Structure 1
Amino acid sequence: MPGYEAKAAQLAKMGADLIRPSGAPPFMLLGYAEERELIAGWAKKYGVQMFTSGQNHVRALRTLGIKKFVGATYFPERMNRVFARYFADAGFQVLALEGIDAPFAEVPKVPPEKILAFMKETAAKHKDAEGIYMLGSAWKTVEIIDRLEKETGLTVVHAGPARTWETQLRLGLRHPIQGYGRLLAEMPG
């Protein structure tokens, strides 16, 4: 992680109030405990609060009271097993974490309606799910989050809204945003 730490050091030197090393991989691949230890060390070393994508998603799921969820990614099955283990180690019950088949470079072109249908189908298979988790910023899904919540009755945690939510909280802001799911509409926390 030397490249990430070097950038964090540079941002801290510039006076950043918050640093968010981004990306599920590589940080989630470290595992839940190792990622926490690494980021806590950097935050202490550079005197700036920090959080990763995985830490953000864990906090959002916990804040919303979601303990059991179904999820989707655009990664292969072997990666999804690693992500599922990460969340299990964080105390969640991952009922399903499935990948939508698309070449990585094509992920932004996957139609939101296809993702919506996939998530509804996945949620329908797991009636005990308390929420839906969508890993990955490359999906263009912000427009379907509200609809997915209404049609499934489940709260959705997705990278973009989750980042916006936690960034606001950590910077002492609270500006609810309607139309992108419960997390941004209610700004809990």
Structure 2
Amino acid sequence: MSMLDKINNLKDTQCIVDTICKLVSENECAGCGKCVFGYEGVTQLQLMLGDIAEKKGKSTDLAQMQELCQMMKSQSLCETGEEIGAAVLAAIDSYREDFEDHIGRRGCRAGVCRKFMTYHILAEKCIGCGECIDACEEDAVLGKAKFVHVIDQKECIQCGACMEACEEDAVVRAGTIKPKCPKRPIPCKRK
């Protein structure tokens, strides 16, 4: 299946930024070095797409990628470099809003890019056991025994240790739609 076919057959559970980043990284141009626009083009695309997936994208990234890909399409010495340029251009054209959401730090619609995910503790399920507090190495979980715990999003590194530690399924991972949770620890209703 060609890169364009993979982009055109993207499922709702797949993120275009993550998918195109993997397709570019897995390509033979990354290790070739025979032409500047193939090797350097892929290297630059990897850096920009990686930054976008890690919440470090800049507003100028899309224009730079489009310019680079146009050059790759016309200046690469092999069909692979040309295909990569065409595929990234097609991805930007078809999924511009998703790229802009990533760059504007609004989120990853598919919930794939880890940096865009947040963890939350549901008040109706939390029993105040403290397992999530013990599991968090960043001290991002606030609370005490018999109180609904709260995750400080500024301290959380999205490792998921709190979710793994919770036997009550009170910790959930959320993308663009966040659950309603208390802003500070409150007494547990559930025993």
TM-score, normalised by the number of residues in structure 1: 0.26
Q: Which has the higher helix share?
A: 1
Q: Which has the higher strand share?
A: 1
- Quick check: which has more Rg, 1 or 2? 2
